[in-house]
């Protein structure tokens, strides 16, 4: 048999990438909850027959789940799972619903399609099912271990009844579940078409070639960019919502030949509150690969081919590998902070090659109640913040960690929920100063139009996002309840059941991000543009960048040169990492 040619491999690779995009489109057009439909909180995947991810956005969990079915997989089967402890953390809290669909061609298993998305409510004591005060997963809503939603094509109606009886949003949840299934069926149809076009064996050979290609390229990255001597880095989560904390996340990294090792030893013990993150080893390998590929060689296809080159040690009973039944609902703080820690450990020996720290969490604004027309409502909105300054340019302002996520349109919010968005903007001066500026935070002001309760999930309120290679740290997050009489009440970064009345306002400010490089090396014209656009104040332009602007916001080049020379003399050599006031904050906490 002739080895498959590279052109056919490329054609199949691009076809699979297009199928993944079609999975997303199918889901967005079918789901009902705004978190999936509008914000795109979902992750598709297509695997080979062994369950190895060939294209997708998260590490493969297929074998761990399918092995729980001794009767095996059959055409028409659809697996449903939402319990992190039953699938090795492939979904990380019970709001994430995952569908796995085996793909058969002429009665032969050729792969799997999978999709998971964040559904808006799965029961429990508070709307949207992520209680800040949860101390075990039993208090976070209903969860499903791997079960067959469809068994040889027959829908298990009992599962649907259980789902509808245990949520505040039965219609949305049912629609989202069926949309996840439809998305996977779309992939099933397209993969079968590829098998018809190229044949089963050439299709399988192409998948092997794609996995092998990525493995070879990743070996090169590891051998050329990772250190042989272990290096460590740590960052902190403010608290767990129950007045415990801060919580340290520590990662040590090294390589042996072309294999890389990552060890979470030194990370704090699991939290009493729900910030624990049950870290899936394949998913963490995906994060590592995604980071290395995006930093060093974005042309590499992203799949499971390199997983055998990565070795992970995560001590049990820690924040990153909690023991059941630890609460997991607010795990996005650790999940997002993981990227800051990974960035930091890769930067220890080469801060000039790595980005700074970002807003380091996934903020949530939750608003629920009964409107004035006696209709129940339940809004959960994912908020964004500043992405870090990078070697290649400025950080993004008010952006999600996940590239595919987008905002819920204001028109959608104001049409379907009793609130008004007064303003939505980036926060001036919130991005750390640097040769490449850190991205600014988001500032969003809501007016409440019907009484209800709100919940807030955020972090980086106490410990700033650090700057790198001479860059300054970014700003912290904050929240304020502005009563209709004008009284301002500061709110914690993690809080449930805050009562609001018609006419009250919520000011939701997320974290900024750290800057990259010496601010005195930033082009004065870029500083002038930042000031003109409201991203940087005239005062910060002078204080941090040494740029003197006149009344018309034009650069006074002679004065700027003099100021910068004096500042450079006073500042001395730039620091590799600038943690702001972290040490003082940690002492106080």
Sequence spans of domains, the chain: 6-215, 365-385+405-518, 520-573
Residue with token string 């740290």: 473
3-state SS of 132-169 is CCCCCHHHCCCCCCCEEEEECCEECHHHHHHHHHCCCC
The reported pLDDT for the residue numbered 1 is: 45
Are 65 and 78 in contact, with CB atoms under 8 Å apart?
Answer: no
Tell whether the torsion through CA atoms of 35, 137, 155 and 43 is positive or negative: positive
Per-residue pLDDT tens over the stretch 107-161: 999 999 999 999 999 999 999 999 999 999 999 999 999 999 999 999 999 999 9
- Within 10 angstroms of residue 208's Cβ, the number of other Cβ atoms is 16
Give the pairing of strands 467-468 and 78-81. Answer: unpaired
Q: How far apart are CA 472 and CA 522, in angstroms?
A: 13
Phi, psi of 130 (to 5 degrees): -130, 65
Residue from 303, 319, 22, 408 nearest 189 by CA:
22
Residue from 426, 389, 399 nearest 514 by CA:
389
Tell whether the torsion through CA atoms of 132, 133, 137 and 142 is positive or negative: negative
The reported pLDDT for the residue numbered 2 is: 56
String of b and e for 85-113 (b: at least 16 CB within 10 Å)? bbbbbbbbbbbbbbbbbbbbbeeebbbbb
Phi, psi of 24 (to 5 degrees): -60, -50
Q: How far apart are CA 209 and CA 214, in angstroms?
A: 9
Q: What is the distance, to the nearest Å, from the Cα of residue 83 to the centroid of all Cα atoms in its chain?
A: 19
- Omega before residue 325 within 30° of 0, cis: yes
Indicate the pTM of the whole model.
0.94
Per-residue pLDDT tens listing for the chain (589 residues) = 457 899 999 999 999 999 999 999 999 999 999 999 999 999 999 999 999 999 987 777 899 999 999 999 999 999 999 999 999 888 999 999 999 999 999 999 999 999 999 999 999 999 999 999 999 999 999 999 999 999 999 999 999 999 999 999 999 999 999 999 999 999 999 999 999 999 999 999 999 999 999 999 899 889 988 999 999 999 999 999 999 999 999 999 999 999 999 999 999 999 999 999 999 888 888 888 877 777 677 777 778 899 999 999 999 999 999 999 999 999 999 999 999 999 999 999 988 889 999 999 999 999 999 999 999 999 999 999 999 999 999 999 999 988 789 999 999 999 999 999 999 999 999 999 999 999 999 999 999 999 999 999 999 999 999 999 999 999 999 999 999 999 999 999 999 999 999 999 999 999 999 999 999 999 999 999 999 999 999 999 999 999 999 989 999 999 999 999 999 999 999 999 999 999 888 887 6
């Amino acid at each position: 048999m002739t080895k498959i040619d590279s052109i056919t491999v490329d054609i199949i690779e691009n076809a699979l990438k297009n199928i993944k995009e079609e999975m997303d489109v199918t889901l967005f057009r079918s789901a009902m909850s705004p978190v999936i439909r509008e914000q795109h909180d979902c992750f598709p995947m297509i695997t080979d027959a062994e369950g190895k991810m060939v294209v997708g956005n998260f590490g493969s969990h297929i074998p761990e789940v399918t092995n729980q079915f001794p009767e095996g997989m059959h055409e028409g089967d659809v697996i449903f799972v939402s319990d992190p402890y039953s699938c090795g953390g492939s979904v990380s809290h019970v709001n994430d619903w995952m569908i796995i669909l085996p793909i058969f061609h002429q009665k032969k298993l050729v792969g799997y399609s999978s999709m998971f998305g964040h559904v808006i409510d799965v029961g429990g004591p508070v709307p949207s099912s992520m209680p800040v005060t949860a101390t075990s997963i039993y208090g976070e809503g209903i969860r499903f271990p791997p079960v067959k939603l469809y068994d040889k094509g027959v829908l298990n109606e009992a599962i649907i009844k259980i789902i509808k009886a245990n949520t505040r949003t039965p219609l949305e949840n049912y629609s989202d579940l069926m949309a996840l299934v439809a998305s996977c069926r779309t992939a099933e149809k397209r993969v079968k078409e590829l098998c018809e076009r190229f044949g089963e064996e050439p299709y399988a050979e192409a998948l092997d070639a794609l996995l092998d290609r990525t493995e070879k390229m990743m070996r090169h990255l590891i051998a050329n960019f990772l250190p042989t001597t272990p290096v460590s880095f740590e960052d902190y989560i403010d608290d767990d919502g129950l007045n415990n904390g801060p919580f340290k996340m520590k990662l040590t990294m090294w390589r042996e030949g072309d294999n890389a090792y990552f060890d979470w030893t030194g990370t704090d013990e699991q939290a009493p509150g729900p910030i624990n993150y049950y870290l899936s080893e394949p998913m963490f390998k995906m994060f590592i690969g995604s980071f290395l590929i995006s930093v060093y060689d974005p042309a590499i296809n992203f799949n499971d081919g390199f997983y055998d080159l990565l070795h992970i040690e995560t001590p049990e009973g820690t924040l990153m590998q909690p023991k059941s039944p630890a609460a997991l609902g607010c795990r996005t703080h650790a999940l997002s902070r993981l990227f800051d820690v990974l960035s930091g450990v890769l930067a220890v020996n080469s801060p000039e090659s790595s980005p700074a720290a970002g807003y380091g969490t996934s903020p949530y604004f939750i608003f629920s109640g009964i409107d004035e027309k006696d209709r129940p409502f339940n809004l959960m909105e994912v908020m964004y913040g500043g992405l870090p300054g990078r070697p290649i340019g400025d950080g993004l302002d008010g952006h999600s960690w996940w590239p595919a996520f987008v905002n819920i349109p204001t028109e959608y919010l104001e049409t379907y929920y009793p609130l008004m968005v007064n303003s939505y903007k980036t926060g001036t001066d919130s991005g750390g100063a640097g040769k490449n500026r850190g991205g600014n935070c988001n500032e969003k002001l809501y007016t409440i139009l019907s009484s209800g309760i709100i919940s807030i999930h955020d972090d980086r309120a106490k410990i700033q996002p650090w700057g790198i290679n001479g860059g300054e740290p970014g700003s912290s997050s904050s929240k304020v309840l502005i009563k209709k009489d004008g009284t301002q009440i500061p709110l914690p970064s993690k809080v449930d059941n805050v009562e609001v009345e018609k006419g009250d306002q919520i000011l939701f400010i997320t974290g900024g991000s750290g800057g990259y490089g010496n601010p005195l090396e930033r082009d004065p014209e870029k500083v002038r543009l930042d000031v003109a656009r409201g991203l940087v104040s005239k005062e910060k332009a002078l204080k941090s960048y040494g740029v003197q602007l006149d009344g018309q916001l034009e650069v006074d080049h002679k004065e700027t040169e003099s100021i910068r020379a004096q500042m450079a003399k006073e500042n001395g050599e730039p620091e590799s990492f600038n943690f702001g006031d972290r040490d003082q904050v940690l002492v106080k906490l």
